Amino acid sequence: RQVTSDASFHSVSFSETDHPKVLITGGLGQLGVGLAKLLRMRYGKNNVILSDIRKPPNSVFHSGPFIYSDILDYKNLREIVVNNRITWLVHYSALLSAVGEANVALARSVNITGLHNILDIAAEHGLRLFVPSTIGAFGPTSPRNPTPDLCVQRPRTIYGVSKVHAELMGEYYHHRYGLDFRCLRYPGIISADSTPGGGTTDYAVQIFHDAIKTGKFECNLKPDTRLPMMYIDDCLRATLEVMEAPADTLSMRTYNINAMSFTPEELTRELQKQMPELEVSYEIDPVRQAIADSWPMNFDDSNARKDWGWKHDYDLPELVQTMLNYFREETR
Ligand code: AKB
């Protein structure tokens, strides 16, 4: 890899042969298509392969390589890695918090057994491996305001338990086998052109859809439930930056990243500045509320900022403006 200048991330260039060959699992979830787009602009269209067990929409199929991959099928995974000479693996397959509670056996299998396959494939083939963790890796006995990188982690969801397991296993493989494991704990991610599935922070995406479509929104969390959140562009850029960070800048292998923190009430107020007619009512989902009440309210990401220069671009007003612009453009 040739680094032509040290500061700006846009100035790092890769020679033809140095391009990473990237495989993204769980590629049809909330983040995969956006990450593929970002990485393809940087490394070339054919050097980034999206994968999933579902059939992609035509737009995804035509935008670059897509392949069937089942993370529970070790031989299928190995074949893909070998045949495509994969060097980086971004492992996005997972069941999120609320849907995981509704199907613990499946969440255990995808989030834990699937991860074991990914770790073994990555270690066996010398891959650089990114696995996202989450604010959900903390629990009611963690400090919640703010939550540092290193503290008590006793989550009460299968999702959280599986993510603590992923953090610890990745770090263990790093120390034991030299696996180049990199992990970010994501806040709730807000995106306009892709939807999350089965999370606790999903209300903060749904509110935009309903506000634009009907002018009304029924929120499943209490108005004062404070959670860390981030706009998708910041999340994808953080992922690219930590993957490109020189190993000697990483004092840890699992980092909190953050951008903002808000409650449903605060998000509503910000939206009402531009849509005064918006009506929000509350119908609390006890499962999601209990999960949210056990999660961080504010996330301390000072280590990411210090070690590899993490800096978010979007706070609450910019997030709301960007989301509304997108939907208004779409409905025009
Ligand atoms: C969820 O709500 O389950 C996810 C997360 C914060 O990890 N969005």
199 Cβ inside 6 Å of ligand 1: yes
Q: Nearest-5° angle of CA 186, CA 192, CA 197?
A: 60
220 Cβ inside 6 Å of ligand 1: no
Looking at the predicted structure, is the pLDDT value of residue 312 above 80? yes
What confidence score (pLDDT) does residue 17 get? 56
**Which of 92, 99, 186 for a ligand 1 pocket mutation test, highest count of atoms within 8 Å of Cβ?**
186
188 Cβ inside 6 Å of ligand 1: yes
Q: What is the mean pLDDT of residues 233-259?
A: 98
Cα(202) to centroid(ligand 1), Å:
8
What confidence score (pLDDT) does residue 12 get? 46
Q: Is 29 helix (H, G, I), strand (E, B) or coil?
A: coil
Q: Which atom of ligand 1 is nearest to the CA of 100?
A: 3
ipTM of the complex: 0.99
Looking at the predicted structure, is the pLDDT value of residue 197 above 80? yes
Q: Which atom of ligand 1 is nearest to the CA of 201?
A: 2
Cα(188) to centroid(ligand 1), Å:
5
Short-list 269, 258, 268, 270, CA closest to 312: 258
Looking at the predicted structure, is the pLDDT value of residue 22 above 80? yes
Cα(4) to centroid(ligand 1), Å:
37
Q: What is the mean pLDDT of residues 122-128?
A: 98
Residues in the chain: 332
Looking at the predicted structure, is the pLDDT value of residue 296 above 60? yes
Active site residue 282: no
What confidence score (pLDDT) does residue 30 get? 96
pLDDT classification of 55: cutoffs 50, 70, 90: very high
Structure-model confidence comparison of residues 294 and 3, the more confident one: 294
What are the CA-CA distances from residue 198 to residues 74, 98, 174, 271, 287 (Å)? 26, 5, 31, 23, 12
Q: What is the mean pLDDT of residues 251-267?
A: 98
30 Cβ inside 6 Å of ligand 1: no
What does the mean pLDDT of the chain come to? 94
List 230's β-bridge partners, or say none.
189
Q: Which atom of ligand 1 is nearest to the CA of 30?
A: 8
Looking at the predicted structure, is the pLDDT value of residue 15 above 80? no
Q: Give yes or no for a cis peptide into 146 (omega within 30° of 0).
A: yes
**Which of 30, 95, 96, 103 for a ligand 1 pocket mutation test, highest count of atoms within 8 Å of Cβ?**
96
Q: CA gyration radius for the chain? A: 19
Compute the Cα dihedral for 260, 266, 271, 274 and give only its sign: negative
Distance CA 110, CA 253 (A): 22
Q: What is the mean pLDDT of residues 77-102?
A: 98
Short-list 99, 77, 98, CA closest to 86: 77
Compute the Cα dihedral for 149, 151, 154, 156 and give only its sign: negative
Range with lowest mean pLDDT among 13-27, 116-130, 183-197, 228-242: 13-27
Q: Locate tokens 């990114």: which residue?
A: 130
Helices 316-331 & 203-214, crossing angle to 10 degrees?
A: 40
Cα(231) to centroid(ligand 1), Å:
13
Q: What is the mean pLDDT of residues 291-296?
A: 98
Q: Which atom of ligand 1 is nearest to the CA of 159?
A: 3
Structure-model confidence comparison of residues 13 and 96, the more confident one: 96
**Which of 93, 99, 135, 258 for a ligand 1 pocket mutation test, highest count of atoms within 8 Å of Cβ?**
135
Cα(309) to centroid(ligand 1), Å:
24
What confidence score (pLDDT) does residue 2 get? 36
Looking at the predicted structure, is the pLDDT value of residue 218 above 90? yes
